Structure 1
Amino acid sequence: MAFRCRAAWALLGWVLLFHGAAEAEPPGQIYRCRAYGGGQFWSSEHCQQHGALIERIESVPAGMSFERQVKVAEQGAGRAAKAVVAGDSRRSEQAVIEREAKAQAREQARQQARCAKWQAELERQQSFSRQKLTARRQEFIRNKQQALRQQREQAGCR
């Protein structure tokens, strides 16, 4: 009797397994379509049959209602969008770092140009001071040189 029960259960198991395998459908596909007028919709048929363009194709489990397949597809699209946003944020962080580095390089170049300009003006004023000038003009040049030195010092020029 025990042998018959086991055999019956085994036979029943094989039948269910075979029947389940026969009913197991490959994953289905649904299409995200874009109408020429600009609207978007999901379809289980190719978008071309509706006179629209394919925006996206999603693989969904077969054997469930179309509404459920749409929900599954939208959830998958949400995860994909989050992954894209995460990738974009990494790229945007890199872009911010590059922009900051370029801005810093430009600022350093401006600073060097200002320092060079002040140094050239200081040298020009020194050459004037060696000439034979009135005491008033000599004092004016000395004050101008002092102001240029202060500007250079405040700006951090060497």
Structure 2
Amino acid sequence: MTDPIDIVIYHNPACGTSRNTLAMIRNAGIEPHVVEYLKTPPSPRLLEQLVARMGIPLRALVREKGTPYEELGLGDPALTDGQILDAMMQHPILINRPIVVSPLGVKLCRPSEVVLEILPQEQKGAFAKEDGQIVVDASGRRV
């Protein structure tokens, strides 16, 4: 028997990219911890840690589409990371998704197949995204 693999996905079930990412994790035979971050957002400290582990600037994690990004003036380069983080805490929809945490790293999985880079197990079979795009062939290899 193998030890369980601890994978966390910060997920929005209304997002196709997030659903595809979750499905690829499951296609590897892993049942992740699913955090619906709009209902249970990460703390400011945890979000800062995730960003640091991804090796990206905080601004790279801010979602613009379908959010109050423009109304809040978040494109202003004079805003500090603290101000951006405060906005993300007040409006979790501003946190881009899905974020996946695995033993092999942390990634913002956009596009969804980025998750394949940090899964510790191979895909168990073919996988096609919701739009029909084939990502993994029948032998479990990335296309």
TM range (shorter): under 0.3
Q: Which has the higher contact order (CA 8 A, sep 6+)?
A: 2
Normalized against structure 2, the TM-score is what? 0.21
Normalized against structure 1, the TM-score is what? 0.20
